[in-house]
Structure 1
Amino acid sequence: MTLTRPQKQLIIGTMDLVLIGCSLWAAVAVRLGAFWPDQVWEDGWPLLLVLPLIGGALFYGVGLYKSVLRSMGRHDVIRIAQASFLLSLVLAAVGFFDFGLFLPRSTPIIFGLLLAVSMIAGRGAARSYYQLLRERGVQKRPVIVYGAGESGIQLVAALNAGREFRPVAFLDDDKGLQGRFISGRRVHAPRDVDYLSKKFAATDVFLALPSVSRARRKEIVHFLSQRPVRVQTIPSMVELAAGFENIDRLREVGVQELLNRDAVDPMSGLFSSVRGRAVLVTGAGGSIGSELCRQILTMEPSRIVLFEISEVALYAIELELREMASELSIELHAVLGSVCDAARLEQVMKTYRVQTVYHAAAYKHVPLVEANPLEGIRNNIFGTRAVAEVAARCKVDRVILVSTDKAVRPTSVMGATKRMAEMVLQHAQARTAETIYCMVRFGNVMGSSGSVIPLFQKQIAAGGPVTVTHPEVIRYFMTIPEAAQLVVQAGSLGRGGDVFLLDMGSPVAILDLARRMIHLSGLEVKDAQSPQGDIEIVFTGLRPGEKLFEELLVSGDVLSTSHPKIMRSLDGPSDLCDLDGILAELETAVVNHDISGALRVLVRTVEGFEQVYPDAMMVDIPDSIATDARAEAKPGRARIENTAALSENASFISVG
């Protein structure tokens, strides 16, 4: 274990010299049927010394000693066979030209076969002994490998070479493989996973299924999520083929595999709003904005402008994309600025001759916007108005707004501001035909900042508890890349004032999602049925502005588009003509820091924006305000006074 590399090479080389001599003697003995035939060795015994020296030089020359013994594989076996064949040719030449040496013509063939087999066997024995020494005193964790194909075999080989895991069995759907032994492990049916986990005390299942269909993969993950085993997976076939990942680079099962929906495939024909154009992305450092920038770069725009208020976020995304943009010969410009600054927006749009704007800048975290409503109004509504008006003045071709399902009959200030932002764009569309305005509504985006999935992962890693707001809360989910693709494609589909939404499949129960994530981490839920479980689920109650389920439509009417997964909503503002007056009143309230007045405007303008806070939330509100709220306001107006009181002493938080 402490030998140097040259010392190990010397040992293997010495072993080869001995094997060459022994193989030569054995070949002659087998051919002539005698232990020491005098007719060969009486004058030919020096060959037992000379041939090993020739063989050692030959093996060194062909690079036989450059291989690492512990990683010996198929290519090393082929190289040994080739070296043995070359040395057998040397032996044949010696026998042919030395007429004083009696050497049967079949001897070199037997010699080559014996030498190759003995060298391979010797190295295999040495490798086994090396692994035995490495594993002495090391407790390797037993694991089950799901998938007995080529990827599974490679994964087992990689795990055997490591010091952490010990593969104990295969699972495979192929009935023809079940019951057989592969890489020394028995292949079992998937239904045997409970038996195997108990027999071997295995708490981990590794998925070696890089090319399995998406539907089947989800079925397997769902099946395993019902059992207290930790599930990890190797990279996809695309990542392996591209060289981005190695076969032994295990990672947690993607949460998208727990969701009841398939990914939405992009249609390259719908990239016309980007390809060859100058594109501006606001909020370029955010979750959706940064992915939009990544996707847009692959669609070959002429230039892309990253517009972001956060210096840290802008630096990160600019640094990430700089090399890729350079390779594709695409101009990349990082610009600091706020969407509320119309003069800055106009300067940027004119300087870079922007043709398409993707407006992703917004404050989106519901509780923070509830506590800071004026900042949410200023950024989400008036920032959108500034983008719309400047785009019209600069004759931008298209403006696409990233919206949310929380804009439909909102119960939060954030949702109400996003619905108002939609109305602002539709109002702008009614005033111009030169610029096309449209918007895209999303459900929850997996992995975005503030989303529930990273929170659950962090809580599980910390040992719990996992916090769920309500046992009946459900949500729609989509991946960040899907969301970005949809925004780009909707930009090409828009004809003016459109509200686009995605066929997002079935909603997901958050409680069920939490349970599955706990199970896939190899842990058990701690509850009344399993008091000895590992992770407890705690219900914290709905947060201010939060509701049990989200909707994508206000009116419920939709039209199909050329994309099978994208629909066009018929939602529109109830009174476009009065929106200027409404915005002026709202702006006055914001300027005067009149939270109650601003929220009254939202309640009056945004359809469905009504919700009464529970009495428990009125404890810190002065009695006069609470009384006025209950006496004067229609249902839902109490939340205005309540929010105003709660927010008077709140600091204004920038959430980016």
Structure 2
Amino acid sequence: FALVQLAVDGLLVALAYVLAYRLRFDGAVPLRYEDLRDATLIPLVAGALVVFALFGLYGKSWRHLTGSDYVQVGYAAAVATLVLPAFNAVFQPVVLDLAIGSTVVGVPTSIIVLHGLLSLLLVGGVRFAVRRFYERPPRGFHARRGARSVLIVGAGDGGRLVLREILRNPGLGLRPVGFVDDDPRKRRNRVEGVRVLGTTDDLARILDEAEPDEVTIAIPSAPGVLRARVVRACRERGIPVRTLPTVFELLQTQGQLVRQAREVRVEDVLGREPVRMELDRVGAYLTGEVVLVTGAGGSIGSELSRQIARVGPRRLILLDHAEDNLFAIQSELADDRHVHPALLAAVLADCKEEERMREIFAEHHPTVVFHAAAYKHVGLMEANPVEAVRNNAIATRVVARVAGDASAKAFVLVSTDKAVAPATVMGASKALAEFAIEAEQARFPATRFNAVRFGNVLGSSGSVVPIFRRQIARGGPVTVTDARMTRYFMTIPESVQLIIRSGALGQGGEIFVLEMGEPVAIMDLARAMIELSGLVPDEDVAIEVTGRRPGEKLHEDLFNAYERPLATQADKIQQAGRATLDPRSVDAMFDEIGLLVLEGDAAALARKVSELSTLHRSVQEPAEVSRGVRARERTV
């Protein structure tokens, strides 16, 4: 398109030059100035185009110009205007012979000024007209019948992007009714033809007057206080609220911008920037592999399946023992995400059944295994300790051993911070699972076994967030077991990124931990969620402290006392360095536990898993870990 732009600019500069003469002499141009105009026209146009090119006016499409580009147009037009007198002074193209001698015909100052102004007007104007043409159709915006009215909070760049997308796409079925912005200079002004109706302090009045069908918060970085104020006013009137995603979320999705607007989420106010990884880069090792995801229908397993499908595995095996969940993720990948059915295999099976696992490995030959199948509800596991250990510990050992026998390249266990100094059966069962893969690493060195440990996952089934949402929806009370309690939190995408990244880290036998920032007070989280619902804590919704449940800790840890945080090659991921376990000790422990599970002796099983802390050699680090720590200390 640069050649077209050059041709248009050349014509406009020539037109500006001709018009300058006609305006200066009111149409009757003297003969000597006609000669001067004709002699200087082509050199002037050529010189102006060179100047424009040097100022970078041909580096982008005119429909995408910004304010800084128009400033460059102004500078270029000013400099290009000087080409005319410079050329005339050097080359003297027109010389007038007089009785007293010859004289050079100079360019009148008024011609230079008029040419400069007209060039700026025409060259800048055509760019502005093209941009406006693409941003808003010339015939104006006509929302389709039945379009929903939208009030946009934020008249900055984000708000303009939302508005332009609505104006360009009437098929979205949206009709903008106005902006709300806290900048007093924008009050009563129009942005892209839509009026700024007031500030967020006026939001109640604006909502009553404009009566929008929905409100979009177009400030991705808006603080939680502003979001809570908007949500509160809208919820009182039954108006749904959506918020514009961050730039990262937009880059990770495809489709139109307005369609990406999402509901306000509690992670907006958690106070920590999410860890971001480039999936195509960190998951490149999965391309062309046969990947098995156990627990594929669960919160973590389903997101793992979605993300893995994006990096091009040769085949994706979805395994779950719940047919509804398995059918849901298989249908989503095939129908909604257009994964070819030949690349998917949905397997209904139970990880505890070793013979069935061997059948699956023999049929599908998975090369990478992500083991996300587990029970995680602490209260239920306390009431059903035998099943907790059978499913979380023994099943993990079964799948890991089968993967080793099948010479899989990698096996990744999804673990939890509750496996650190476990105080519940659920935590102990996951600690046993970590021990199991460490022992299998010694038994099958050709397979790289790793575990991934992280805190509470926001929005996963059974987590505190959906529980709080249900309690708030029914009017409270929101129950907190202890006002001092804190927890580490992460989002489902964060956890899945960590799991995928860890599959390519280390040499095997490692436990990886995400750097999760500071723990979040559960009481603060409860208050924030109530405010996000447009309600006032302790007034609209009560918060009730119920007392800690058996085994529940005030604060979770990410590392055991006998573990040491070690840096890894991956940003924001640490390794839990600890002494290497004797596989025979792990086997002996599992033999005893397996017998108690078969007998269904819950009391004896609880006593046995309480001995987990004695399984590790408590203090001495392995030689290779110590060398790594000393090497890093020398580097520092």
TM-score interval for Structure 1 and Structure 2 normalised by the shorter chain: 0.5 to 0.7
- Give, in whole Å, the separation in 1 of the partners of 2:162 and 2:200: 16
Q: Which residue of 1 aligns with 2:224?
A: 221
- Counterpart mapping for 1:480-491 below 5 A: 480-491=492-503
Deviates further, 147-156 or 327-336: 147-156
- Give, in whole Å, the separation in 1 of the partners of 2:527 and 2:174: 27
- Counterpart mapping for 1:122-271 below 5 A: 145-148=153-156, 149-151=159-161, 153=163, 170-172=180-182, 177=186, 180-182=189-191, 183=193, 185-186=195-196, 193-194=200-201, 196-197=203-204, 206-209=215-218, 217-225=220-228, 228-230=232-234, 232-236=241-245, 244=255, 247=258, 251-267=262-278, 268-271=280-283
- Counterpart mapping for 1:407-418 below 5 A: 407-418=419-430
Q: Does 1:449 align with 2:449?
A: no
Contact 2:149 2:175 in 1 (8 A): yes
Q: Which residue of 1 aligns with 2:290?
A: 278
Where structure 2 has 5 or more consecutive residues not aligned to the other structure, the ranges are 1-138, 235-239, 617-636
Contact 2:512 2:575 in 1 (8 A): yes
- Give, in whole Å, the separation in 2 of the partners of 1:492 and 1:306: 21
For residues 212-248 of structure 1, the C-alpha deviation after alignment (integer angstroms, 9 at most, x for no partner) is 5xxxx45523444368444822443766997746738
TM-score norm. by structure 1 comes to 0.63
- Give, in whole Å, the separation in 1 of the partners of 2:315 and 2:501: 18
Q: Does 1:331 align with 2:331?
A: no
Please provide the CA RMSD for this pair: 3.8
- Give, in whole Å, the separation in 2 of the partners of 1:311 and 1:441: 27
Q: Does 1:554 align with 2:566?
A: no
Q: Secondary structure at the match of 2:611?
A: helix
Q: Which residue of 2 aligns with 1:382?
A: 394
Amino acid at match of 1:559: L
Contact 1:300 1:330 in 2 (8 A): no
For residues 279-331 of structure 1, the C-alpha deviation after alignment (integer angstroms, 9 at most, x for no partner) is 11111111111111111111111111111111111111111112478655862
- Give, in whole Å, the separation in 2 of the partners of 1:170 and 1:584: 66
Out of 559, 563, 567, the residue aligned to residue 574 of structure 2 is 567
Q: Which residue of 2 aligns with 1:595?
A: 602
Deviates further, 289-298 or 219-228: 219-228
- Give, in whole Å, the separation in 2 of the partners of 1:232 and 1:325: 26
Amino acid at match of 1:185: R
- Give, in whole Å, the separation in 1 of the partners of 2:309 and 2:359: 23
Q: Which residue of 2 aligns with 1:367?
A: 379
Q: Which residue of 2 aligns with 1:541?
A: 547
Q: Which residue of 2 aligns with 1:622?
A: none
Contact 1:409 1:608 in 2 (8 A): no
Amino acid at match of 1:534: D
Q: Secondary structure at the match of 1:538?
A: strand
How far is 1:345 from its partner?
0.8
Amino acid at match of 1:170: V
Instruction: Assess, with a 3 A threshold, how the Cα gap between structure 1 residues 546 and 243 changes in structure 2: closer, same or farther.
Output: same
- Give, in whole Å, the separation in 1 of the partners of 2:165 and 2:341: 39
- Give, in whole Å, the separation in 2 of the partners of 1:519 and 1:570: 41
- Give, in whole Å, the separation in 2 of the partners of 1:155 and 1:326: 26
- Give, in whole Å, the separation in 1 of the partners of 2:445 and 2:172: 65
Q: Secondary structure at the match of 2:511?
A: strand
Instruction: Assess, with a 3 A threshold, how the Cα gap between structure 1 residues 199 and 193 changes in structure 2: closer, same or farther.
Output: same
Amino acid at match of 1:587: G
How far is 1:516 from its partner?
1.6
For residues 65-106 of structure 1, the C-alpha deviation after alignment (integer angstroms, 9 at most, x for no partner) is xxxxxxxxxxxxxxxxxxxxxxxxxxxxxxxxxxxxxxxxxx
Contact 1:234 1:248 in 2 (8 A): no
Q: Secondary structure at the match of 1:535?
A: coil
Amino acid at match of 1:406: K
- Counterpart mapping for 1:82-161 below 5 A: 145-148=153-156, 149-151=159-161, 153=163
Contact 1:240 1:246 in 2 (8 A): no
- Give, in whole Å, the separation in 2 of the partners of 1:240 and 1:279: 25
Q: Does 1:506 align with 2:515?
A: no
- Give, in whole Å, the separation in 2 of the partners of 1:404 and 1:241: 26
Q: Secondary structure at the match of 1:578?
A: helix
Contact 2:250 2:260 in 1 (8 A): no
How far is 1:463 from its partner?
2.3
Instruction: Assess, with a 3 A threshold, how the Cα gap between structure 1 residues 511 and 395 changes in structure 2: closer, same or farther.
Output: same
Amino acid at match of 2:189: R
Aligned residues: 463
- Give, in whole Å, the separation in 2 of the partners of 1:493 and 1:312: 34
- Give, in whole Å, the separation in 2 of the partners of 1:488 and 1:514: 31
- Give, in whole Å, the separation in 1 of the partners of 2:579 and 2:382: 25
Where structure 1 has 5 or more consecutive residues not aligned to the other structure, the ranges are 1-122, 528-532, 610-656
How far is 1:339 from its partner?
0.8
How far is 1:393 from its partner?
1.1
TM-score norm. by structure 2 comes to 0.65
For residues 17-76 of structure 1, the C-alpha deviation after alignment (integer angstroms, 9 at most, x for no partner) is xxxxxxxxxxxxxxxxxxxxxxxxxxxxxxxxxxxxxxxxxxxxxxxxxxxxxxxxxxxx
How far is 1:590 from its partner?
1.1
Percent of residue pairs bearing the same amino acid type: 38
Q: Which residue of 2 aligns with 1:119?
A: none
How far is 1:577 from its partner?
3.5
Amino acid at match of 1:265: R
Of structures 1 and 2, the one with the larger relative CO (CA 8 A, separation 6+) is 1
Amino acid at match of 2:490: M
Contact 2:585 2:615 in 1 (8 A): no
- Give, in whole Å, the separation in 2 of the partners of 1:164 and 1:355: 48
For residues 320-351 of structure 1, the C-alpha deviation after alignment (integer angstroms, 9 at most, x for no partner) is 11247865586211111111111111111121
